[in-house]
Structure 1
Amino acid sequence: MNADPPPPPRGRRPGPPQGRDDDRTRHYGAPGQQPGPPQAWSQDPRQRPPAPQQRPPQQPRGQQGRQGARNDGIQYAPTQTPEPFVDDDPRYRRRGAQRQGPPPQGPPPQRPGGPDRYGRPDPRRRPPKPRRRRRFRWGRAILIALLVIILAVGGLVLYLDRSLHRVDALPDYPGRVAQTAGTNWLIAGSDSRYGLTEDQQATLNTGGDVGDGRTDTIVLMHVADSGKPTMVSIPRDSYVPIPGHGRDKINAAFAIGGPPLLVQTVEGATGLRIDHYAEIGFGGFAGVVDAVGGVKLCLDQAVDDPAHNISLPAGCQKYDGAMALDFVRERYALPGSDLDRMANQRQFVDTLASTVAKPTTWLNPVRMWNVVNRGVSSLTVDEGTHIWNLASLAWALKSGPVTTTVPIGGFEDTSSGNALIWDRDRAQTFFQTLAEDKQLPADLVTSNGFG
């Protein structure tokens, strides 16, 4: 029996352990033995594999999990029950990808900040901040509403202003009258049928087309800086100088040179500088009356003019556009002819202004829009007049103006026919008072021009 090999000396590498393959031992034998003849590897009894060791029978996996350890003395982890894989965790789902497979069983996933579906808190999830209940801010809502209203009104004003027909009616000629106090408007009522169809001319009883039109009505409106405005009727047959054409009836200035010559003639005859010019025709006049819903007028006696197909009953009644046009045009059936017609025109303008100023008109958006739209579309103004200038004139007339006529001295036969002559002295005092922006004395305020 061979003795155990001596321990290896220090510093030398230990040999292979006993029982392992070693070519040196196989070929040359153990130390201290004579080497035998060479043998094949399979003939060496030391190279035979050891007999397999008998292991204790293994228990089923389920029993091992319940016992928690095997009999071989090695501690193993407890057996876990396998679960089917479901790729439905929203944390690992790609953006835009749809959920695959059957819907997960159990309660729905918690909101961010709560535990995950396994009941464990997720440190990556932050609890949501409590939402503050927003309070309705009345100040901001009112400010936005006011801004919308201002923009809407501004757009409407610009639209109406661009709808006005404009002409160069205020010429700057040599020797023009200097600026006077207050604001002076020259308003001309033309008998132009422009824009009216044959049916409309028949309805309004205009008598057919007359060309470019004539001025049946000439009104000088003086708006004082303080006090009531003054509405002065200028008779159409007034015999006055017309620049460049000698003396003639004042309505001839419009027929010869249009609005510019009419303005220049009025400025020369009155000594007042005209600041604004406005002209309205038959169609626009009737349209404004219809838009406001009619005007209530009272006649002391009936007016019957078969020659011009005009018949107006006595008493108070509401006049529509066609009847109102007959009322302001009629002069043949009146005792004072053109002078009585001017009184009727001033009465109508005063009544129309007070009707428009009533709350039933300007608080009704539809009616107010119709009045403004009809009035603007039928007006012709100078180039410097805007919609806000017209609004200021309407506002000045709401309380009722002082209505009067130019002081008249009498009638005279001229080369232009029977014409009306002004009372020179009284007329000079009359217009000088207006130029100084003063109220007219009672003796100068007349309905027909005679004192």
Structure 2
Amino acid sequence: MSIDPEQTTRRARRGPVPPRHGRQKRGGGVVLPAVAGVLAMGLVLTGGYAAFAFTSLNNGVTKIDAIAPRSNGDDDVDGQAQNILLVGDDHRPDNATPEQMAELSTEDDGGATNTDTMIVLHINADGSQATMISFPRDSYVDIPGVGKGKLNSAFHYGTLNGGGDTGGAKLLIQTIQDLSGLTIDHYVRVSLLGFYQVVKELGPVEVCLNNAVNDPYSGVDLPAGTSKLDAKQALSFVRQRHGLPNGDLDRNVRQQYFLSQEARKVLSAGTLLNPIKMNAILSAVGGSIQTDTDLVSLGAQMRNLRPGNIQSATIPTLGTPTIMTNSGALSIVEVDTVGLPAFVQGLVGEPEEYTEATAAEPAATSVTVLNGSGVTAAAATASANLTARGFQAGAPGSSGTTKTTQVQYPAGQEAQAKAVADVVPGAVAVRSAAVTGVTLVLGSDGKTVSAPAPAGDTSSAPADGSADTGKTKPSKPRSSRSSEPKPSSTDVKSYGKEGVCIN
């Protein structure tokens, strides 16, 4: 594919330009790709009217073949954790009227589509808990078949050469799967106009800010405390990145927060039990939604979910540097790829295949040790100790600095990974698409492989020198490197609870 991976990101390199002629500078994508799933979830909870509403919503959306069938042929979501990729794009539909364009504070986009909001919604197996994991649009990542580029351009590349929206969805899904190690089960995408129409029909959504904000670029102008946002104000709210300490990373927080508050609004009795309002919302949603599957199954999976049980997090990052490319300077978000696998697993839990696996014999286990601890020769020492314990240890190497010691493994090598984890107390075993074999990444937490006890000595000491020889529960993974200002927070937040305010 002869594509310049920097071409579609040139707009991001331009500095901010104040709006002219009363028209606001268009922001990035929007946050309500999940509105379809939220509506479906709410309808499940109501009964009665739900059957008709489900049919209307499901029949109105555009279906695309974005998700490959399960290898075991089982498409039943009941009892299985689900990962839904929620996408908001900046594309303006061709049939948008000039009045609608003015309301959106935008203009014709020339046909290109960048997915500027990307959230993986993880639903646990019983559907009672959910976690939104945001992926910053400027994340500089490997795009399959393209090379390095900003994450928000992956969809555009997939649409080229006849790929269309299906090709765009497939390439974006593959990029996020490769980056995160997550398997995407469902896909929902909504346009800018769709966001506006849904919020307009839904009615004002209440938000709360700790500090007043006035940003001429996005158009947001709100006092400290509680405000009720109409559709146009909501667009400004989720677009803002100028004036926030961490720019686009803080915009992710705005989007997570607004989505959680929107869920509270959708699930309120005043919305769900009002057929006129629900019909208007369903009509607004249908023409602006693309999904891989029927929304009934999404709603059924979330039947036990409540807004207060939705958590939010953003993938760990290392900073927002400006790099030089063939096309000039490019502002990016550097992803903490070393710490990301453990961070994701800390949110979604260990894969079932790992928990059910039986540790392989050391002699049947090949492992490579990488030093991310900053301690000289740590990988060489650990490799020697693994060899002494009967493992097939390869040549040691190095990785980026990380706090958490990890046993990374590809799908299918769970038994071998468990064998290595058993001799590194406190290490976190994580499935990763970035490795082709079991890889022990040593972190600064001091977890490592102890030398085997001499023959006849039945005592053993844990690798970290503590008195407890059992495995310790790992702390929540954090970004492996810090910088000022702090580029991102890996704290998990619950924005759907009543009375929550943000900065």
TM-score where L is the length of structure 1: 0.59
Q: Which runs of 5+ in 1 are unaligned?
A: 1-149
The aligned counterpart of 1:73 is: none
Matching of residue 270 in structure 1 with residue 184 in structure 2: no
Could you say if the C-alpha distance between residues 390 and 191 of structure 1 is closer, same or farther in structure 2, counting changes exceeding 3 Å?
A: farther
Contact 2:218–2:239, Cα closer than 8 Å, also in 1: no
The aligned counterpart of 1:423 is: 336
Equivalent residue for 1:190, pick from 63, 77, 89: 89
The aligned counterpart of 2:295 is: 386
Could you say if the C-alpha distance between residues 440 and 391 of structure 1 is closer, same or farther in structure 2, counting changes exceeding 3 Å?
A: farther
The aligned counterpart of 2:498 is: none
Matching of residue 448 in structure 1 with residue 488 in structure 2: yes
Separation of aligned partners in 1, 2:65 and 2:59? 16
Separation of aligned partners in 2, 1:239 and 1:372? 36
The aligned counterpart of 2:133 is: 232
The aligned counterpart of 1:100 is: none
Map of 1:42-441 to 2, 5 A cutoff?
154=51, 157-171=54-68, 182-194=81-93, 195-226=95-126, 228-257=129-158, 258-382=168-292, 384-390=293-299, 392-393=301-302, 396-414=305-323, 415=325, 417-433=330-346, 434=348, 436=350
Separation of aligned partners in 1, 2:52 and 2:248? 43
Contact 1:165–1:379, Cα closer than 8 Å, also in 2: yes
Please report how far the alpha carbon of residue 237 of structure 1 lies from its aligned counterpart in structure 2 after TM superposition.
1.0
Please report how far the alpha carbon of residue 308 of structure 1 lies from its aligned counterpart in structure 2 after TM superposition.
4.7
Q: What letter is aligned with 2:89?
A: S
Please report how far the alpha carbon of residue 249 of structure 1 lies from its aligned counterpart in structure 2 after TM superposition.
1.2
Separation of aligned partners in 2, 1:265 and 1:216? 14
Q: What letter is aligned with 1:448?
A: S
- Secondary structure in 2 aligned to 1:252? helix
Contact 2:217–2:242, Cα closer than 8 Å, also in 1: no
Separation of aligned partners in 2, 1:376 and 1:310? 28
Could you say if the C-alpha distance between residues 379 and 403 of structure 1 is closer, same or farther in structure 2, counting changes exceeding 3 Å?
A: same
Separation of aligned partners in 2, 1:355 and 1:331? 25
Q: Which runs of 5+ in 2 are unaligned?
A: 1-46, 72-76, 159-167, 353-472, 480-485, 492-503
Could you say if the C-alpha distance between residues 200 and 440 of structure 1 is closer, same or farther in structure 2, counting changes exceeding 3 Å?
A: farther
Contact 2:118–2:136, Cα closer than 8 Å, also in 1: yes
Could you say if the C-alpha distance between residues 297 and 441 of structure 1 is closer, same or farther in structure 2, counting changes exceeding 3 Å?
A: farther
Q: What letter is aligned with 2:111?
A: G
Separation of aligned partners in 2, 1:437 and 1:223? 14
Deviation string 1:73-122 (CA, Å, 9 cap, x unpaired) is: xxxxxxxxxxxxxxxxxxxxxxxxxxxxxxxxxxxxxxxxxxxxxxxxxx
Q: What letter is aligned with 2:342?
A: T
Contact 2:339–2:477, Cα closer than 8 Å, also in 1: no
Please report how far the alpha carbon of residue 181 of structure 1 lies from its aligned counterpart in structure 2 after TM superposition.
5.7
Could you say if the C-alpha distance between residues 393 and 284 of structure 1 is closer, same or farther in structure 2, counting changes exceeding 3 Å?
A: farther
- Secondary structure in 1 aligned to 2:244? coil
- Secondary structure in 1 aligned to 2:313? strand
Deviation string 1:244-270 (CA, Å, 9 cap, x unpaired) is: 111211111012112111001001111
Please report how far the alpha carbon of residue 320 of structure 1 lies from its aligned counterpart in structure 2 after TM superposition.
0.8
Could you say if the C-alpha distance between residues 379 and 391 of structure 1 is closer, same or farther in structure 2, counting changes exceeding 3 Å?
A: farther
Separation of aligned partners in 2, 1:385 and 1:356? 19
Please report how far the alpha carbon of residue 378 of structure 1 lies from its aligned counterpart in structure 2 after TM superposition.
2.2
- Secondary structure in 2 aligned to 1:216? strand
Contact 2:319–2:487, Cα closer than 8 Å, also in 1: no
Q: Over the residues paired in the alignment, what is the CA RMSD in angstroms? A: 3.3
Please report how far the alpha carbon of residue 228 of structure 1 lies from its aligned counterpart in structure 2 after TM superposition.
1.8
Please report how far the alpha carbon of residue 287 of structure 1 lies from its aligned counterpart in structure 2 after TM superposition.
1.7
Deviation string 1:269-293 (CA, Å, 9 cap, x unpaired) is: 1111101000111111122212222
Q: What letter is aligned with 2:310?
A: P
TM-score where L is the length of structure 2: 0.53
Please report how far the alpha carbon of residue 193 of structure 1 lies from its aligned counterpart in structure 2 after TM superposition.
1.2
Contact 1:343–1:447, Cα closer than 8 Å, also in 2: no
The aligned counterpart of 1:82 is: none
Larger radius of gyration: 1
- Secondary structure in 2 aligned to 1:273? coil
Could you say if the C-alpha distance between residues 333 and 165 of structure 1 is closer, same or farther in structure 2, counting changes exceeding 3 Å?
A: same
